[in-house]
Amino acid sequence: MPPQKLDTSTQLDAEMRRSLLRVLWRSRLGDLREQSLIRQGKGWFHISGMGHEALAGIAIHLEADDYAFPYYRDRAFCTQRGLSDFDLALAFYAKRDSSSGGRQLTGHFSDRALNIWSHPSPVGVHLLPACGAAWGMQLDGKPNVVYASLGEASARQGDFYEAVCFAKERQLPMVFVVQDNRIAISTSTTGTNPIALGVLDRSEWIRVDGSDVEAVAAAGRIAVEHARSGQGPAFIWCDVERFSNHSSADDQRMYRAADELEAMQQRDPIKLFQRSTHRGWAPYRS
Ligand SMILES: Cc1ncc(C[n+]2csc(CCOP(=O)(O)OP(=O)(O)O)c2C)c(N)n1
C-alpha cells in the first residue's frame, strides 16, 4: 500500500468527535486513577496507555464481528471497542468476575463478547494467533477484519515477521499497527526499529502522527477498508509518545531528560483533539 495523503477534512462528525473525546478522557483518567491506586498500595501492577489514546480512532472503524488483538498500551482502543470502566477496574483488581477470572496481568485486555483477545506477556506472541483468527474468517467467507497492534521494539521479534509473511502470503484481512513511542522500557529504539533499519518496505506502511486523532482515524479508515475489501493486510506505523513510566515497576525520570518529558506534552493527542473539537463544536460557539 503506497503512502497516502490522509484526508481528515470530513470524516468525523460532531457527535463522533464528542463521543471519541469522552472515550479518550475515560482512558486517560482511568490510567491516572490506577496510578494513584498503586501509590496507595491498592493495586499490584499498572501499565498505561497514556499518550497512545489516538489509536481509539482506529476502533471506530471496526464492526462487532471483527477481532482485536491489542497490546497493553491499547486502553483507549479497547474502551472505544466497548470495554467499560467497570470491566477495566475488575481486571485491575484481578477480581474473579473479570474477563480473565483474575488470572491475567492487568492491562492485558480481553473480552469474549467484544472479540478482544488477551495477549500473553512475551511481546509479539499474539500476532500469529491474530493471523489464525483472520485465516479462519477468510476460510469461512466472512467479511471481517483483525486488528493486531504492538510496540516498535516488539516489531523486532520473530513472531512479527512470521505474522507479516503469513498475512501477505494468504492475503489475510488484517490491520497491523505498530505504535512507535521511541523507547522500549528504558532503551531508545530510534535507530534500531525495523523501519529505521530499512527492514520493512516503507511504501507498504501508512505512517501517521499519533498526536493527531483525526489523522489516526483517517489512517484507520483506509487500512480497515483495504483489509475488508479482500486486498490483504494493511500496515500502519503510528508515532506516539509514552507519557508514563513503562509500568508501575519503573520511574522514567531515571533515564529520560526532564526537558524531553516536558516537550512531549506538546504532543498530547487528547488536548490537541479537544482544542480542535471545541473549535468545531456548535454548543461551544459564542
Ligand atoms: C519476548 C519478550 N522480551 C522482553 C520482554 C520484556 N518487555 C516487556 S515490555 C518491553 C518493551 C517493549 O517495547 P515496545 O514493543 O516498543 O512497546 P512499548 O512498551 O514501548 O509500548 C519489554 C522489553 C517481554 N515481555 N517479552
Residue having the nearest C-alpha atom to atom 21 of ligand 1: 151
DSSP class of residue 120 equals P
Task: Work out the end-to-end distance of the chain between its first and last CA atoms, rounded to an integer number of angstroms.
Answer: 43
Whether the CB of 122 sits within 6 Å of ligand 1: yes
pLDDT tens digits for 211-264?
999 999 999 999 999 999 999 999 999 999 999 999 999 999 999 999 999 999
Whether the CB of 55 sits within 6 Å of ligand 1: no
Domain boundaries, the chain: 14-284
CB 84 within 8 A of CB 97: no
Whether the CB of 175 sits within 6 Å of ligand 1: no
**169 contact partners, CB below 8 Å, separation of at least 6:** none
pLDDT tens digits for 10-31?
579 999 999 999 999 999 999 9
Whether the pLDDT of residue 2 is over 50: the answer is no
Q: Pick the atom of ligand 1 nearest to 155's CA.
A: 15
What pTM was computed for the model? 0.95
Q: Pick the atom of ligand 1 nearest to 121's CA.
A: 25
Name the CATH code of domain 14-284 (choices 3.30.60.50, 3.40.50.80, 3.40.50.970, 2.60.40.2310): 3.40.50.970
Which position has the grid cell 505498530? 178
For residue 141 the three cell numbers come to 467467507
Beta bridge partners of 208: 238
